[in-house]
Structure 1
Amino acid sequence: MFHYTVETSKSLDEAVDALQTQLKEEKFGVLWDFNVKDTLQSKGFDFNTTYRILEVCNPGEAKNILEKNALASYFLPCKVVVYEQDGSTKMGMPKPTSLIGFLEDEELNDQAKDIEERMAACMDKAAQ
């Protein structure tokens, strides 16, 4: 499976706040918080599903990866989506290992695995 998703009983805003707190503990920052619903509605589109797409980055990790392969920039920063579906809040991300696997570089795969595990742990903790 190319993605990792968790469900929480928290509201969407509570989940985003909890996730940001957990990410900071792992030295990840949120560069951008894109509210899809608000943006589409401001452009005149009738869209009522709440999605927030967080662009997440750990600058040290990004620097190391980009120095090894510039094509990794196609996958950076990492995305985490927080959304409502069927009455619950979900947090998910494309797995960094799935994306970096396209570059066929074992060293980068190891780094992506570490990042993926840390980000998944952040989502797990934020969901509690």
Structure 2
Amino acid sequence: MDHGIAVTLDLPFTEAVEQVRTALAEQGFGILTEIDVRATLRAKLDEEIEDYLILGACNPPLAHRALEADRHIGLLLPCNVVVRAVDGGTLVEAMDPQLLVQVTGKPELAPVADEAATRLRAALAALTG
């Protein structure tokens, strides 16, 4: 089972992050959380990895609809979007919202997952590079 939607950009990491933020905002997603995995591993374990950022993206109307269908869905929110440096560019991966339906087994979440997936795919498709 594939867990994400991905695109590789021929852009430096910092530029890609800015494009991701803009593209998500254009699709109604705000960033609730931001985890700089590279900085955390460096500070806590003295380990080095590539630039690696996890953005917790949330579209409030979609989150509300999902919570109305299943209050436990908060365990799976927000939608994670990972931006990480790869050889020659930056990889952007978004969690596939269909996982919400698969994990919970609640078909009433399907319309919310469909819309979230459409919006995340549109955001990734809008990225250039």
**TM-score of the aligned structures, taking structure 1 as reference length:** 0.91
Across the aligned residues of Structure 1 and Structure 2, the Cα RMSD in angstroms comes to 1.4
- Tell me if structure 1 keeps the 8 A contact 2:32–2:55: yes
Of 78-87 and 96-105, the range deviating more from structure 2: 96-105
Q: Which runs of 4+ in 1 moved over 4 A?
A: none
The 1-side partners of 2:117 and 2:55 are apart by: 15
Deviations 1:69-107 (A, max 9, x none): 012112100100000122321000221102332222223
Percent identity reads 30
Aligned residue type for 1:80? V
- 2:91 corresponds to which residue? 90
- Tell me if structure 2 keeps the 8 A contact 1:72–1:100: no
- Count of residues in correspondence between the two structures: 128
Gap runs ≥5 in structure 1:
none
Displacement of 1:125: 0.8
- What is the 5 A alignment of 1:1-128? 1-128=2-129
The 2-side partners of 1:104 and 1:61 are apart by: 18
The 2-side partners of 1:58 and 1:18 are apart by: 17
Of 74-83 and 90-99, the range deviating more from structure 2: 90-99
Deviations 1:11-35 (A, max 9, x none): 1111111111111111110112211
